[in-house]
Structure 1
């Protein structure tokens, strides 16, 4: 089982990826729960609880690019290199889930990539 704080940060980033286009679809939420429970080795119920809490917190900042990047930076900063890669992979999967990249998602992908792989 992964450190709960690490799991929380990764799920927060995935939640951010799901709300950046304005709303988190059921399809995106289900994907996050599925991936989090498998990759982070936590129960689906734990993953859903963390996700719902994160989405509720993030709804207000989804339309503010500066706040989004600040949140992403804070969530990524304490993660180890491997965990940053995992978070990026999950976020990318969430954003591509509906078959297209929405406005706001494209810039978030680039910024997450810089933060996860290039440092800051």
Structure 2
């Protein structure tokens, strides 16, 4: 339960920046409309930026949701993708502790196993 509480705090922290950004863009849209500078290109750029922020939030949510679900079947997965997934989960802790993560994998190595168990190895070794 304590680990889940920490993860929920991390989700909340991860979502603050995109939510603040979306709120700011909403205010900008209203003000820029009043100033008459909203055109098709402006709307296109604003929509693209908004969708990017939403995609980031959905990706973060998905990473946290799958982290606690045990993998039931072995499967092939790439180590690089797995490490990047853990990096998303640990991003705020890394920043808070001034830790720079540099991942160098010469070949995108695929292994066969339980991906969530592999993720837990990295996460638990940090804690």
TM-score (norm 2): 0.31
For the pair shown, the structure with the greater C-alpha radius of gyration is: 2
Structure number with higher relative contact order (C-alpha < 8 Å, ≥ 6 residues apart): 1
TM-score (norm 1): 0.32
